[in-house]
Chain A
């Protein structure tokens, strides 16, 4: 069965600083990988996805992520964080073999200092 680990439960960065959120997955084949963002009391918004091809994927709101098969990682990055980026971020893996269900990591809560 697939699994996702987000090692950092909380991260605090200063506004304007760069950001990297870590995600490691476990799955036997090439997974479908996703990053979602959740603002307090809200649903999940899809930031970006990776299925195949170019390992560096661009998403909305200036985010990007890089798939590294050798490290089983799919880290999310942003060069300059804005106060509005404060939210919880979830990495997820999906596979066609698992009935299309998404397996989520535990989430990373991002706080942005002014």
Chain B
């Protein structure tokens, strides 16, 4: 069974640009979660999508947004990039409330 996949592996952007990160969940999983792992800030919950709808979001500004497609894959968009957005962005998927399985992450570097 294929795990959660994320693309790209690395992404380098300039301050003020937009970044798009993609996630494909495990087959059969309908929920996708996004987390940010920034140096010194730990792992923080960003967004939760389920059945195509945004169900919950963490304490992040509106320039962090995303969507979930009919095939349950998901996209995270970060607009007006700031230096402090540099982080590892982890996607997780789940079929129920009990377990989340994580992908390898996308390393976003903002210069």
Residues of A within 8 A of B (CB): 32, 34, 36, 41-46, 49, 51, 90, 92, 94, 96, 98-107
Contacts and interface: CB of A to CB of B under 8 A. Distances in A.
Nearest to A103: B45
B45 A101 contact: yes
Interface of B: 4, 6, 31, 33, 35, 42-45, 48, 55-56, 58, 90, 92, 94, 97-105, 107
Contact of A106 (B42, B55, B102): B42
A101 B58 contact: yes
A4 to B, nearest CB: 10
A100 B101 contact: no
Contacts of A94: 97, 100
B102 A45 contact: yes
